[in-house]
Amino acid sequence: MGDRDFSGKGVLVTGAGSGIGRGIAAAFTREGAAVAVVDLHRDRTEETVRVLDGGPGRAVAVPGDVRTAEGVDRIVEEATRRLGQVDVLVNDAGVYPNCPVVEMPEDQWDDVMDTNLKGTFLMSRAVARRMIARGQGGHIVNIASGAYKSARRGASHYCASKAGIVMFSKVLAQELAEHRIHVNVVSPGLIDVGRRADVNPGYRETLMTTIPWGRMGQPSEIAAAVLFLASPGAEYITGTVLDVDGGSSAGRFFLPYSRG
């Protein structure tokens, strides 16, 4: 099997109803995988499956809630039944409201943590248990964000959840290494997911000045990094974070030269 051939592999992608998650699901189906498209919203899972229909792989809609153990058990049970087995788990489900700490309602904090961080834990635990029982190794790729290492106002819950995902993944990589289960993180920068209306234009324009590559990324570019980390070409990679951000994490690109 080539590095980018996932024929016969079962892949479960959370948050695949739109945006980056949909792009990841599309990439795996193009490479022949059977993909469980997971999202809280049934209509979004079904729309993703329609969009992906006709590729060499196949996609199935598995709506479900990653915030509870019961919801996760149902997701993994159905995905395993419909795919045969889960060889690759991609945890992309996430929410990112914006609110200063002193104004933040407790339920908003809880929702971000439950979806982004607890959901990653619950899904990883459930799938890893099955991978261990099967004894054939596997791959878990968790989606973080540049927010895991770069704070911004209004995003205390989001930044904390993404930082938590990174450290959780590093610990999990150590614990699962004896079972030959890889655990890695892809950290996207500013990605064009089409939802322009809910983003402050000033925020987006300012952030653009920090990107050496001079443009937003595409979901397909995040997907390419995920496919690499789930491939045989990444056999000796586990517990790492791959920044896919056009160079924005390299430093203060927005500054002029210090001397004229």
How high is the pLDDT of residue 107? 98
**Catalytic status, residue 158:** yes
Any domain includes 2: no
Q: Once rounded to an integer, what is the mean pLDDT over residues 9-20? A: 98
Q: Once rounded to an integer, what is the mean pLDDT over residues 72-83? A: 98
- Structural domain that includes position 172: 10-250
- In whole angstroms, give the CA distance from residue 230 to residue 234: 7
The band of 197, judged by pLDDT with boundaries at 50, 70 and 90, is low
The CATH number of the domain holding residue 235 is 3.40.50.720
How high is the pLDDT of residue 200? 84
pLDDT digits (tens, 9 = 90+) for 114-132: 999 999 999 999 999 999 9
Which helix (H) or strand (E) segment holds residue 85: the answer is none
Q: Once rounded to an integer, what is the mean pLDDT over residues 48-52? A: 95
> How many folded domains does the chain comprise?
1
Any domain includes 35: yes
Q: 27 and 10 in contact (C-beta within 8 Å)?
A: no
Closest CA to 97 of 154, 145, 15: 154
Any domain includes 244: yes
What angle do helix axes 42-52 and 19-30 make, rounded to 10 degrees?
A: 40
Q: 63 and 16 in contact (C-beta within 8 Å)?
A: no
Any domain includes 134: yes
Percentage of the residues of the chain whose pLDDT score is greater than 70: 97
- In whole angstroms, give the CA distance from residue 220 to residue 25: 10
How high is the pLDDT of residue 201? 86
- Which of 20-34, 97-111, 202-216 is predicted with the least confidence, judged by mean pLDDT? 202-216
The band of 196, judged by pLDDT with boundaries at 50, 70 and 90, is low
Any domain includes 259: no
> What DSSP designation does 178 have?
G
The band of 87, judged by pLDDT with boundaries at 50, 70 and 90, is very high
Any domain includes 197: yes
- In whole angstroms, give the CA distance from residue 218 to residue 188: 10
Any domain includes 257: no
Which helix (H) or strand (E) segment holds residue 11: the answer is strand 10-14
Choosing from 96, 148, 158, 203, the catalytic residue is: 158
Any domain includes 120: yes
pTM given for the model:
0.95
What one-letter code names the amino acid at 138?
A: G
What one-letter code names the amino acid at 166?
A: V
Mean pLDDT of all residues in the chain?
Answer: 95
Q: Give residue 77's Cα distance to chain centre.
A: 20
